[in-house]
Structures are given as structure tokens and as C-alpha cells.
Amino acid sequence: MAFNLAFLSSVLIILSAFSPVITALSSNYYDKSCPNVDQIVSNAVKKAAANDRTVPAALLRMHFHDCFIRGCDASVLLNSKGSNQAEKDGPPNISLHAFYVIDNAKKQVEASCPGVVSCADILALAARDAVVQSGGPNWDVPKGRKDGRTSKATETRQLPAPTFNISQLQQSFSQRGLSLNDLVALSGGHTLGFSHCSSFQNRIHNFNATHDVDPSLRPSFAASLKNTCPINNRPKNAGATMDPSSTTFDNAYYKLILQGKSLFSSDQALLSFPKTKNLVTKFATSKEAFLDAFVNSMIKMSSITGGQEVRKDCRIVN
Ligand code: HEM
Ligand SMILES: *[C@@H]1O[C@H](CO)[C@@H](O)[C@H](O)[C@H]1NC(C)=O
Ligand SMILES: *[C@@H]1O[C@H](CO)[C@@H](O)[C@H](O)[C@H]1NC(C)=O
Ligand SMILES: *[C@@H]1O[C@H](CO)[C@@H](O)[C@H](O)[C@H]1NC(C)=O
């Protein structure tokens, strides 16, 4: 699981064919200029997670959204300004939260080493810490990302939707240099957190002309989701946890898919290709295989770079 330079260079070569900008990242990037950055970020995440158990899931998802739009350049952290609506205020921002954790970490990092560490690196570190602090694997985070100067709400349309089928998911990932392997491994992020009813209602109400409910859902599970998420008069924040152990980073997600108890069509879709179905089965059977694959794919995803500067305030361009 240790970070390996030969691996990273091959990843960078593969990625360079697809992604906007490739910067060489390295795990010792701040060794001289900000040696305590890993520790500072990890303490900030720990403190926040102790007060609010939903923080780790939020940070992991925030990093994924960041990397899928303009590369991992902290564009997701920028506030809307004037007439420009930022990603944050785009449609699938539902449940993006805990931005204050990154602000706190940045404040403490700036106190130690002003003007040196990018917000994109802080978010990548925080996502790793979120996984570690939920009982998941640890890894060295390659660093040296730069922050971008653009964030547009309309670009959140580039994110994969929970209604996507396997070909649409494959395309979304391959446009970013990520394989079917990466798709299955990274979807395992859904072992953490919560979803609002709106993200899976396509499966439980008016699924299609012949079925009200997606027949790939286990009937008892579909019934409980319908109960939580009625069409009318549902509580504003109604929804379901991704998995019963939604604060523990484990391989339960893959077992649930095989039982017809995944929340999204995009989770269920991982069974549609033999290749991805085999990986789901493998990860359901072996937690170790999942954790290894997850670490490799996280390093790949978080190496899609795109920015230009080191922001002083993560919410505002310099
Ligand atoms: C494969 C394509 C993906 C789709 C279609 C997708 C879609 C979604 C949706 C719809 C939600 C629920 C939002 C809500 O209703 O509140 C969600 C939550 C979440 N996603 Fe994904 N996601 C994908 C990939 C990923 C990846 C790659 C990661 C990280 C490695 C990730 C991590 C999470 C986490 C941790 C949550 C829970 C957030 C929270 O509780 O605050 N997802 N995802
Ligand atoms: C999400 O976007 C809506 C408007 O589309 C906005 O009111 C809300 O504050 C945004 N949520 C976050 C967490 O930024
Ligand atoms: C996925 O959806 C797209 C767009 O609706 C469709 O063209 C394609 O045939 C679908 N692929 C599969 C495997 O269902
Ligand atoms: C509805 O979905 C089910 C399961 O995917 C499928 O067997 C059925 O043919 C679909 N019906 C229509 C009208 O598309």
C-alpha cells in the first residue's frame, strides 16, 4: 500500500493523455517549506469529526467533486462572487457541507507557513484523513497541487449522476483518465455518509412504464426506502445512510450491492458489465483487496491537477 514513485509516474503518463494539466506531485513536496502540514490538517479533521460524525463523509465527497471539475484545484471551495455562481451553488451540491473544516485547517497552516500550501492540497489531505479516521487505510498523499481561479455552477453538470448506467459512468471516468477498476474501487466511497431521497427516488417511484419500483432492489429494502421517502409531504432532510455502518470505512457497500440494497442506480449499475461485477464480488469478499484498490485509485484521482496559484483564502481567488 506504500506510495510508490514508479507507480505515480505511470499514473501521470496515463493521465496526461486526458486531463487538463499535469503537475508532478510528490509526497515530500512541503518537507522543507511546511513540514507539519500533514499533522496540522489531520488534527483539524479530527477535531471537527469529534464534534460532528458527518464530517468525514462530507470531506471525501468534496474532494471527489473537486477533482472531477477542472482537476483537483479547490474550485469546489470558491464562493460565488458578483454574477458568477460557483460550483458550490450548482445543482448537485446537495449535502456538500463542512467547508469550515478546510477553512480552519487553512488558517492553522497559514499561521505555520504562510502562502505556501494550496487549498487543493489541504482538501486532498483532509479526504485521506477522513478515510483514516473512519477506520480505513492510510497512504502518503502526493502534494504540490495549485489552486484554480475559476468555479462555475454550470460545470457541476459534468459530475456523474446517480441515475447513470454503466456506459455513462465508464465514459465520465475515462474522460478523466480513470478506468473501470477505478470506478468500482472509488464507488466504495459510498461506504460512508448519507443520501437525500432525491438522489434515489427514480428507483422507488415511477421507475419505468411497467415497474413502479426498480426490480433490482430487494423488495423489503425498497419498501423501507418508500416509507422514508414518500412522494408527498416528506421531511425536508429525509434520506438514508449509504450503509448501516456509514461512519466506518469498510467493504459493506459491495455486499449491499450484491443483496439489492444499494441506494443509487449508479451503484447497482456496477453489476451490468461482467468485468465490474467481478470486481464488486471480489471487493465484497476481500476487504483487503478493496482497501488496496481504493488507495491506488484515490492517488490516481487526486493526481488530476489544474490550478495556477496558492490561494490565501480558500473561498476567494488571490
Ligand atoms: C461513481 C459516480 C458517483 C455518483 C453518481 C455519486 C453520487 C452521489 C450522490 C447522489 C450522493 C448523495 C447526495 C445526497 O443526496 O445528499 C453521494 C454521496 C456521497 N458520495 Fe458519491 N457519487 C459517485 C462517486 C463517488 C466517489 C468517487 C466518492 C469518493 C471516493 C464518493 C463519495 C461520496 C460520499 C462520501 C457521499 C456521502 C456524502 C455525505 O454524507 O455528506 N462518491 N454520491
Ligand atoms: C446549494 O445551492 C443552493 C442554490 O442552488 C444554495 O442555496 C445552497 O446554499 C448551496 N449549498 C451549499 C452547501 O453551498
Ligand atoms: C446508457 O444510457 C445511454 C443514454 O441514455 C444509452 O444510450 C445507452 O445505451 C445506455 N447503456 C446501457 C449499457 O444501458
Ligand atoms: C422496466 O425495467 C425493467 C427492469 O430493468 C425491465 O425489465 C423492463 O423491460 C422495463 N420496462 C420498460 C417499459 O422499459
Look at residues 151, 127, 249 and name the one whose alpha carbon lies nearest to residue 191.
Answer: 249
Both 20 and 148 in one domain: the answer is yes
Tens digit of pLDDT for each residue in 43-69? 999 999 999 999 999 999 999 999 999
Q: Where would I find the beta strands (DSSP E) of 118-253?
A: 194-196, 239-241
Both 206 and 226 in one domain: the answer is yes
Q: What is the mean pLDDT of residues 250-269?
A: 98
pLDDT value for 2: 43
Q: Which ligand is nearest to the CA of 161?
A: 1
pLDDT value for 1: 38
Both 227 and 142 in one domain: the answer is no
- What are the residue numbers of the active site? 65
| Distance in Å, CA 222 to ligand 1 centroid | 20
- What CATH number is given to the structural domain containing 257? 1.10.420.10
- When divided into structural domains, the chain yields a total of 2
Which residues pair with residue 239 across a beta bridge? 196
Residue nearest to atom 2 of ligand 2 (CA): 89
Both 132 and 170 in one domain: the answer is no
Return the residue matching grid coordinates 479526504. Answer: 127
pLDDT value for 94: 74
Confirm or deny that 140 is annotated as ligand binding: no
Per-residue confidence band for 269, with pLDDT thresholds at 50, 70 and 90: very high
| Distance in Å, CA 157 to ligand 4 centroid | 26
Q: What is the mean pLDDT of residues 223-241?
A: 93
Both 39 and 113 in one domain: the answer is yes
pLDDT value for 24: 84
Checking if the pLDDT of 239 tops 60, the result is: yes
- What CATH number is given to the structural domain containing 55? 1.10.520.10
pLDDT value for 23: 57
Atom of ligand 2 nearest to the CA of 99: 13
- pTM, two decimals, is 0.93
Checking if the pLDDT of 164 tops 60, the result is: yes
- Collect all residues with Cβ–Cβ distance below 8 Å to 181 and sequence separation of at least 6: 279, 293, 297
Both 154 and 197 in one domain: the answer is no
| Distance in Å, CA 190 to ligand 1 centroid | 6
Per-residue confidence band for 261, with pLDDT thresholds at 50, 70 and 90: very high
